[in-house]
Amino acid sequence: MENLIEEVLNLQLKKAKKDKNGDVLRSLICFHTISGSFYGFFDNLFKLKMKYAIEDYVPFLLAEKSSFFEDAAPKMQPYQVKPPAGWQTWSDRHWIYLLAPGKLPAQGWKIHLSAGCKDEEGLLRATADYLFKQKISLKFTVSRGEWIVKNSKNADWTESGKFITAYPKETEQFKQAAADLAVLTSEYELGPFILSDKRYKASNVYYRYGAFKRAPG
């Protein structure tokens, strides 16, 4: 049996040297899964010095296409939200900041919003429109790709689930905004839990008291 496996493997390796497409990789996965030697698959993959990215082989292992393995380019496009006249706008690698006219308090109640993957951009537009009318400063993740990274297993848990952050200027404004946003976003899919905050009812709205940085954080 071992000789037979070795013979088939040698044939696969010879074929792989001539043909570097995904079919070879798929056949290697199938062969080593059947033979019970998944470790051997990776061992021989490295011997071939094949430079495959995760996107090259994961689709073959999925029952159906996942939205997390679609073309990466659209995910990296920044979200487009246009604030009213007089608002300050800037961004960094992770966030886009929109600061309402007037002085921001040094500290206060922060509102964080989570989002599901079906229509997070729709939730962003609805939330931003409300916050613009209430003159409440906000920030949101710079792109869909960044939002996915923040919710990955290797991300900092303190950032998990945080898609939008709002900065009410006073307690009464915070209470009203939290209630309004819970209703406003109720039609959207629920997102990941925000572990650093208290959840507002069974909604995508979370809150905590904390410092407001010069660039809202």
Question: In terms of Cα–Cα distance, which of 55, 50, 80 is closest to 65?
Answer: 55
Determine the pLDDT at residue 63: 46
Output the six-digit token pair for 15.
């074929």
Task: Give 84's DSSP letter.
Answer: P
Instruction: For residue 162, count CB atoms less than 10 angstroms from its CB and return exposed for 0-12, middle for 13-18, buried for 19 or more.
Output: buried
Determine the pLDDT at residue 158: 82
DSSP per-residue string spanning 128-192: HHHHHHHT-EEEEESBHHHHHHHTSTTS-GGGTT--EEEE-SSHHHHHHHHHHHHHHTTTSPP--
Distance CA 125, CA 157 (A): 25
Task: Give 1's DSSP letter.
Answer: -
Instruction: For residue 104, count CB atoms less than 10 angstroms from its CB and return exposed for 0-12, middle for 13-18, buried for 19 or more.
Output: middle
Strands 164-167 and 107-113, by their bridges, are: antiparallel
Residue 3's identity, in one-letter code, is N
pTM to 2 decimal places:
0.64
Q: Which residues have C-beta within 8 Å of that of residue 188, sequence separation ≥ 6?
A: 115, 116, 118, 119, 120, 122, 123, 126, 204
**Domains in the chain, please, with CATH?**
2-70 (no CATH), 76-211 (3.30.2430.10)
Task: Give 78's DSSP letter.
Answer: B
Distance CA 101, CA 88 (A): 8
Asked if 217 contacts 106 with a C-beta cutoff of 8 angstroms, the reply is no
End-to-end Cα spacing for the chain: 62
Per residue of the chain (217 residues), give pLDDT as tens: 556 556 655 665 565 555 555 454 445 444 444 444 544 554 554 554 455 555 555 554 444 445 444 454 456 788 889 999 999 999 988 899 999 999 888 899 999 999 998 889 999 999 999 999 999 999 999 998 888 888 887 778 888 889 999 999 999 999 999 999 999 999 999 999 999 999 999 999 999 999 886 544 4
Distance CA 139, CA 98 (A): 6
Q: Which residues have C-beta within 8 Å of that of residue 118, sequence separation ≥ 6?
A: 188, 189
Determine the pLDDT at residue 6: 60
